[in-house]
Amino acid sequence: MTDENKSETEVETQDNHEEEQEVHDELALKDEEIAKLKEDLEKQEAETQEYISLSQRLQADFENFKKITDRRNAEIIKFANENIIKEFIDCYEDFGRALEIENDKDLREGVELIYNKFNDILTKEGVEEIPAKGEKFDFSRHEALMTQKSDDVENGYIIDELMKGYMYKDKVLKYSKVIVCKK
């Protein structure tokens, strides 16, 4: 090999070495870029999972809200006639008091007929009298107007009912006004 050939070979080797170094440097830059893209992708995936989780929680919250709203609406419908029934109760009680008069047989029969019709309507609508006399006093259904001592009745039980109380389905419309035994 001549010096000239040797020098060309060294130049080519050096050029190859420089090209290899450039390729190596370029690959290192691409590897860094890939690592950065992978890191960004992982962050994006974590953020996506966070949004999915948030979406699922919001969906569950919406379903719960919808159930609560449906229950509330059902209760509103259930008690829609409450005010009219309260008014009927006052008339119903007036007829009951009129029936206590025993002079005129025809008047009594007419009033009894009306009283029974009112009773049927109230029963059909879900109105019931609250039992009182002889029952244990229950502040959620009775209103104590007085207390008395009594040897015949146990302490905390109702001696007498002054005014009837009424339930509409499972709600108190009017509390029973009562006298309670207190020893």
Which tokens hold the place of 135?
């029952």
Cβ(181)–Cβ(159) below 8 Å? yes
Residue 152 is given by DSSP the state: S
**Per-residue tens of pLDDT for the chain, all 183 residues:** 555 555 666 656 666 777 788 888 888 889 899 999 999 999 999 999 999 999 999 999 999 999 999 999 998 888 888 878 887 887 788 777 777 777 777 777 778 888 888 888 888 888 999 999 999 999 999 999 999 998 888 999 999 999 999 999 889 999 999 999 998
Kind and range of the H or E run holding 165: strand 165-168
pLDDT of residue 91: 78
Which tokens hold the place of 110?
């007419």
- In the numeric block, the tokens 């049927």 are attached to 120
**Alpha helix stretches (DSSP H) within the chain:** 3-78, 82-98, 105-125
CA 15 to chain centroid, in Å, comes to: 80
Whole-structure pTM value: 0.53
Instruction: Say how far apart CA 74 and CA 86 lie, in whole Å.
Output: 20
For residue 98, how many other CB atoms are within 10 A of its CB? Answer: 15
Instruction: Say how far apart CA 31 and CA 58 lie, in whole Å.
Output: 40
